[in-house]
Chain A
Amino acid sequence: MTSWTPNRSPVAAPHVHGRANVPQVMRTVLLALLPATATGVWLFGWPALNTVLLAIAGCVAAEAAALAIGRRPVGHTLADGSAVVTGLILALCLPPWAPWWLPLLGGAFAIVVGKQVFGGLGQNVLNPAMLARVALLVSFPLEMTAWVAPQPLFSAAAPGLVEGLAITFGGGPLPDAVSSATALAPLKLGGDFAAGEALLALALGTVPGSLGETSALALLAGGALLVARRIVPWQIPAALLGTLALLAALFNQIDPAHYPGPLLHLLGGSAMMCAFFIATDPVGAPVSPLGRAIFGAGIGALIYVIRTWGGYPEGVAFAVLLMNAATPLIDRLVRPRRYGRLRTGAPLPLAPKEDGR
């Protein structure tokens, strides 16, 4: 008989555990982001890949430095993979041909100001990637809105590897020929809204825009994986996209000339990215099912309001940050009803003895 020495430090039940763990959650998120990342790199070429790598490098380096300064375990914490996820999400929100310092700076800002000053993973109030996005947008409005038209890898107009490095590290403004307007631009600048084939282009992503946010279909594929694996709760994307579509449909009915229909709102800009990958960052989202629905609906409404009447053509980052700030309040107000109690917390009254059928 193989011997057994009892463990003298008692461990409480449960003694078995589900297979979920934090690194695996983060790996699944990265996997789900792969279609959008690949589409972005393919559409915008080598400079886009540089942007992705630089943003991730910025996040990981900043995380390592912050952990070392705080004398916390660097390797163990980095292994949770959260810094890589933040870096990738940030990269996908940036202009694909961003100069080298933009993703690096953004990544460092996201990690240090967005996350580590609060105490690291799980402690931050606001979404780090969105905080960095807003900080960059406010500080460097020109670089942050330099959109290029898609020039797929290996196509005639696409920059080669060396040219790509020159674009990323060379500095200087983009040639006018490649800069372009996004699908949401008509909301602010006037002009015709995308319709018909242009909407199809939005779904596929073959339009100017942020690195990884142009292809609604690629994002939807990744999002479906996350919902199916229960990595993200379905309530947030459902409430977010539902509210956005509902508001768009409502105003479109009132005045189609001023207010585009729901498809443009859902497919254009960062709505898909936000619904599945940004708003669903658990750290800043409520924990109860109803709370998540309120949170998602709030973001959807804010996105519509900012896009339609705000000063910026895209309001995703602001909407997420505002609702992040409202999360503690939502969590406080919306708690699940406890077994055997009323919503108030008082015990259920002793009901007459009849089945609830």
Chain B
Amino acid sequence: MKIFRFRGGIHPEGNKDPTACHPIARLPLPKRLYIPLQQHIGEPAAPEVKVGDHVLKGQRLARHQGSVSAPVHAPTSGTVIAIGDHMAPHPSGLPVQTITLEPDGEERWIETEPAVDPFSLTRAEVAARVRDAGIVGLGGAAFPAAVKLDAGNRHPIDTLIINGGECEPYLTCDDRLMREGAGYVVEGVRLIANGLGAKRAVIAIEDNKPEALEAMRVAAAAHPGIRVLRVPSRYPMGSEKQLVTTVTGREIPAGKLSAEIGVSVHNVGTALAVCRAVRFGKPLVSRVVTVGGGAIRNPRNVVVPIGTPAADLVEFCGGFTVTPTRVLMGGPMMGQVLPGLEAPVVKGTSGIIALTAAEAHASSERACLHCGRCVDVCPVGLVPLELAARVRAGRIDDAAELGMGDCLSCGCCAYVCPAHLPLAHLFNYAKGEIAARREAQRKAEETRKLAEARRLRLAAEAAAKAARRPARPTEKAETES
């Protein structure tokens, strides 16, 4: 199968070996689980339990609300001891509404929906099971998976791409998952393809994961509709747009969804979760997390209940050997700094990475040389140095005109910058600012429309009143003149 090249990209040091070589370990039940109600893109889930309730594993704790949302389920059986604010796994460290669960240690499952032959289900039933299981994209973006399946109903999908790129350095959770659960992943792929009505599925895996490639090839051998595709290791291969281009040679037009060009992209972890949900009726209550980085004593992949505090994971992996300079949630290219180790693992957490100062290659900022390396590596084709100069000068509108909104925040530009300019940092700020301005503009527009409607209504009422009134005022006007 032909592979297409996307523009730019970088080859960061992988640092995957320390964790890729160990089998996935299972974390003993933590003392407390902190389950945020917002673990996905969209509306937060609405709680359905109250403090003091005893819940079973897999029981729904909060239901989805709105069209883009996902429910959350109890990762184990136990007692709800609090519903309130807890530190979110977000750099701000701001609290989010969180259900605190004290496990009873019995791991008693709720009665799950009976196992069925998943291929006898209709598309709508598959989508419903995926939604009810609270599945979101497990690659990191945490977009509700059922919404993507629905999009497949609106647009015909010919190609399902399964993202096994795992291009972020340090992360190996997808690698291990493919090696150890290839059969389930392939079944999940078939179910998603079925749900989308896609004729073919392509599982794209970077060539730095030969074991995973082999395992997936073996598992997919019996299914002619599934291709396992070896793609080059180049960051950001795992980005949706870049992966679509690599596999199909097509570009997603600006402002469009991949579904509109007949492609849908899902992560391997998502495929496994779909298999569990549709075949066994089990909701998404745990995930594999890579605990790595130079500061971790025994780096490895661990399967953990959602809601486990990062501290429990770090401790399970032997703690820190040295004080890390940064502890991240997600990979080092696009992950975010943890505000504290009490922040919990959520559905989108692919890794807890504790970096030492030496690994970060941090250096003081210097003057931009105009060297254009950022332009060479930008997978979008932006000119980051120009954007940065404008953002620094507060010229956000100019930056928007130069394509700021197209930026993926992949961080390639900042990674290669010899002047160590915080390019991605500036761009995140600018994109936030642009979004805020657009929102303000939308509100102003809305207000103006309402005011205009009101004026027209009042004018119409006045006109109607005037029409009903006798014609006397005209005579008065004549006498006055």
Interface residues in chain A, defined as those with a beta carbon under 8 Å from any beta carbon in chain B: 1-4, 6-7, 10-22, 24-25, 76, 80, 120-123, 230, 233, 282-289, 292, 331, 335-341, 345, 347-351, 353, 355-357
Contact = CB atoms under 8 A, between A and B. Distances in A.
B424 A11 contact: no
Contact of B241 (A16, A80, A340): A340
Interface residues of B, number: 92
A287 B375 contact: yes
Count chain A CB atoms within 10 A of each CB in B12, B367, B368 and give the residue with the most. Answer: B367
Contacts of B425: 11-12
A355 B424 contact: no
Given A12-B424, A13-B336, A282 B369 contact: yes
Contact of A339 (B92, B262, B406): B406
Contacts of A17: 360-363, 414-415, 417, 420
29 contacts: A2-B321, A2-B322, A6-B327, A6-B338, A6-B339, A12-B425, A14-B333, A15-B360, A16-B169, A16-B360, A19-B361, A20-B373, A21-B366, A22-B367, A123-B367, A230-B373, A282-B372, A288-B375, A331-B383, A336-B378, A336-B381, A338-B381, A338-B382, A339-B251, A340-B251, A340-B253, A340-B256, A350-B261, A351-B250
B96 interface: no
Interface in B333-388: 333-341, 353-355, 359-364, 366-373, 375-376, 378-383, 385-386
Contacts of B43: none
Contacts of B156: 353
A355 B260 CA distance: 14
Contacts of B359: 16
Contacts of B354: 4
B372 A122 contact: no
Contact of B383 (A2, A18, A22, A288): A288
A337 to B, nearest CB: 5
A356 B12 contact: no
Contact of B420 (A4, A10, A21, A339): A21
Count chain A CB atoms within 10 A of each CB in B253, B340, B415 and give the residue with the most. Answer: B253
A122 B250 contact: no
A6 B419 contact: no
Contacts of A353: 156, 158, 261-262
B334 A345 contact: no
A63 to B, nearest CB: 12
B320 interface: yes
A14 B375 CA distance: 17
B415 A18 contact: yes
Contacts of A292: 372
Contacts of B295: 2
B91 interface: yes
A340 B251 CA distance: 5
A25 to B, nearest CB: 5
Contacts of B340: 6
Given A6-B340, A15-B337, A16-B360, A22 B355 contact: no
Contacts of B261: 350-351, 353
Contact of B253 (A7, A25, A288, A347): A347
A293 to B, nearest CB: 12
Contact of A10 (B337, B376, B386): B337
Interface in B245-284: 245, 248-256, 260-262
Contacts of B253: 340-341, 347-350
A10 B89 CA distance: 13
B333 A18 contact: no
Contact of A20 (B262, B320, B323, B416): B416
Q: Is the interface of A mostly helix, strand, loop or mixed?
A: loop
B418 interface: yes
Nearest to B355: A15
A242 B280 CA distance: 66
B26 interface: no
Contacts of A1: 314-315, 319-320
A287 B355 CA distance: 32
Given A22-B418, A340-B256, A350-B261, A16 B361 contact: yes
B253 to A, nearest CB: 4
A1 to B, nearest CB: 3
Nearest to B336: A13
B423 to A, nearest CB: 9
Given A14-B333, A22-B367, A25-B418, 11 more contacts: A6-B341, A14-B411, A17-B420, A80-B367, A122-B367, A282-B370, A283-B369, A338-B403, A340-B253, A345-B403, A347-B256
A150 B326 CA distance: 58
A122 to B, nearest CB: 4
Interface in B66-103: 91-93
Count chain B CB atoms within 10 A of each CB in A12, A14, A120, A122 and give the residue with the most. Answer: A14
A337 B7 CA distance: 10
Count chain B CB atoms within 10 A of each CB in A11, A331, A345 and give the residue with the most. Answer: A11
B2 interface: yes
B136 interface: no
Contacts of B6: 339
B196 interface: no
Nearest to A327: B370
A24 B379 CA distance: 25
A123 B251 CA distance: 36
A288 B402 CA distance: 14
B309 interface: no
Nearest to A14: B411
Nearest to B363: A21
A142 B406 CA distance: 56
B58 interface: no
Contacts of A80: 366-367
Contacts of B256: 340, 347, 350
A13 B383 contact: no
A6 B310 CA distance: 13
B394 interface: no
A21 B386 CA distance: 19
A338 B254 contact: yes
B400 to A, nearest CB: 12
B158 to A, nearest CB: 6
A14 B361 contact: no
Contacts of A18: 10, 12, 361, 415-416
B118 interface: no
B169 to A, nearest CB: 6
B23 interface: no
